[in-house]
Structure formats: C-alpha cells, structure tokens
Amino acid sequence: MGTRADTAAGPWLSIILIVRHPAETPDAVLAALAAEPQIAEVEVLLVDGRPGAATVPGRTGVATLLRPGLNMPRLKAEGAAVARGRALAFLEPKAVPLPGWIGAALAALGRYPGAALSGSVTSASGSAADRAAQIFEYAAFRPEVIAQGATRDLSGNNMILPAGSLRKFCGDILAAEGLNKPFCQKRLQENGTALVMVPEMQVRMHTRYRLGALLASRYRYARCFGGTRAALAARAQRWRYRLGAPAVPALLIARHMRSACRDGWPGLGTLGALAALCLAWSAGEAVGSWAGPGRACDALF
C-alpha cells in the first residue's frame, strides 16, 4: 500500500489500525482497506498489542509496530507518534470500514482542513446484549442521526484527527494516558479544532457480546474514564464529579432509553441489558472518581 500523495511532509492521511484483544484479528479491516481505489494515496500502520504479537508475512505495504501488552489508548498514541500523515485516522478490528470509506475521508479532509472528523457506526441485529451495546455506544453515530446534525462527538473506532494539533495540544495526555479519546477531544475543541461528522465514512460493527463480559468491560472503561478525569481536574471540579456520581445512573438510563425507543419498541431483553449497562458504567465512573482508575486502564481492549 504505497502513497501516491507522499510529499516531503508525508502523506495526506495515515490510517492507524489498533489490535489488542487476543481473540481479534486485523485481517477484515486490512482487506477492506486494500479493496479501496484510493489505497495508494494513504499510509497504513498496524499497531499490534496482542500478547505474543508477531509480524505476519504477506501484508504488502502495511507498516507494523509490535507493542504487546499496551492498552488501546497507548497503542493509538504509539501509532500517532510515528505516523507520517498530516491527518491520522484510527480504526479498530471490530469495526470494518464499508466501501468508499477512504474516498469519503479524503474528500472530507479537502473540505475541512484541520478539522477532526468522525463517521457513522452501524451494526447488524444480534442478541439483546448486541443491540444494547450498539444503543449505548453508537446510537449517536447512526447515519440518519449524523445527517440531522445532532451528533457532537467522535467515535473512537472511526475518527480522523489533525496530526499537528493532536501532538501540540494533547502531548501531555498522550504521554501520560495514551490517546484517551474523551480527553484529547475536549482539549482539541478547547483549542479551536472543529468537529465534523461525515456520514459517508461508515464502519460496521462485527462484535458479538456476552452480557457478563460486556458489563465487566464497560465497568473498566468507566472506572478508567472516571479516575483519569478526576486526576486531570482541578480540586473543586473533582469534588463535583464525586458528589454528582449518585445522579449518573438516572441520567444515563433516561438518555439511553429514549435512544432505544426512538424507532419503536426494542424489546424487554434489550431494555434490560441496556439498563444493566448504564448501571455498570455508573458504578465504574463513581469508583474511579473516588478511588482512581486502579488497573482499569491497563485492561482496555
């Protein structure tokens, strides 16, 4: 995968694919990218953090970094540190880009230079846990919701960040926490980076969840988030996070139940799994706010 758009300053876009979970493989994403007509215009970098990661022969044009044992935010930071592109795209194995993703990304970079971009995230119907996870994580990234202009967020598995701004304004976060999306996004926005949603940049989720494992993973994400947020906050703000923790379950349940019922009745199983997700996240965020992240951040897959 060469770079027709190479200049002295590097390619216009670097695509950084992160793989961390031992059961995941980057093959589906790499195959989807290789089929894109504009693949020659971008740099593709695989950052492999799986235990026992080893270079796999036959991935022509794909640069590989082996960083076994690092968590997802740190793997993204490792990729960002060496990628040559002026803009950095971040993908993950469980969300495979649909045809036209690179073309839509390059067109959007031309229209919105210096902006942070994100696209839509879709999923095939699955179990109640699958549907609940899609609502909880990605309801705001459905193509029709993005097209309405209602989304003001970046999807961590389908986003493009301006390399110069990321390194300039988020260097301390990258060094301390890795590319922890909520905090880097906030810092970029505070320093004037626009967030632009691109519905044509579509990825499709292929993960199938077991409810217990899903709840445990979201508890860990939330504890990492809550603990890191508290550590970065001023003292007064830290106490507001801690004292406001009891309100979080009700707020999350109200918000996500509205999303779940927007297009009709989703079923009791989905609503029950969604409520459990809200409670698991709330518990993790509260524990993180009071006791810090512990080792939760190390377990982010």
pLDDT digit string (tens) for 53-70? 666 655 778 999 999 999
Instruction: Kindly state the average pLDDT of the residues 72-90.
Output: 97
For strands 158-162 and 116-123, give the pairing: antiparallel
- Give yes or no for residue 4 having a pLDDT over 60: no
Residue 241 backbone phi and psi in degrees, to 5: -60, -45
Residue 256 backbone phi and psi in degrees, to 5: -75, -30
Q: Is the pTM of this model over 0.85?
A: yes
pLDDT digit string (tens) for 96-149? 999 999 999 999 999 999 999 999 999 876 788 989 999 999 988 988 888 888
Q: Which of 104, 60, 296 has the alpha carbon at shortest distance from 200?
A: 104
Residues contacting 29, CB < 8 A, separation 6+: 17, 91, 92, 93, 95, 96, 97
What is the residue whose two structure tokens read 């389908």? 158
- Give yes or no for residue 238 having a pLDDT over 90: yes
- Give yes or no for residue 35 having a pLDDT over 60: yes
Instruction: Kindly state the average pLDDT of the residues 73-88.
Output: 97
- Give yes or no for residue 90 having a pLDDT over 60: yes
> Bigger pLDDT: 152 or 103?
103
Confidence of residue 3 (pLDDT cuts 50, 70, 90): very low
> Bigger pLDDT: 181 or 60?
181
- Give yes or no for residue 188 having a pLDDT over 60: yes
Confidence of residue 223 (pLDDT cuts 50, 70, 90): very high
Q: Long-range contacts of range 140-149, CB-CB < 8 Å, 24 or more positions apart?
A: 140/259, 143/199, 143/202, 146/119, 146/120, 146/197, 146/198, 146/199, 147/199, 149/197
Beta sheet of 62-66, edge-to-edge order: 62-66, 42-48, 13-19, 87-91, 158-162, 116-123, 195-205, 95-97
Confidence of residue 262 (pLDDT cuts 50, 70, 90): confident
Cα–Cα distance, 128 to 132 (Å, whole number) = 6
Q: Quote the percentage of the chain above a pLDDT of 90.
A: 76
205: which strand partners? 95, 123
User: Are the C-beta atoms of 39 and 33 separated by less than 8 Å?
Assistant: yes
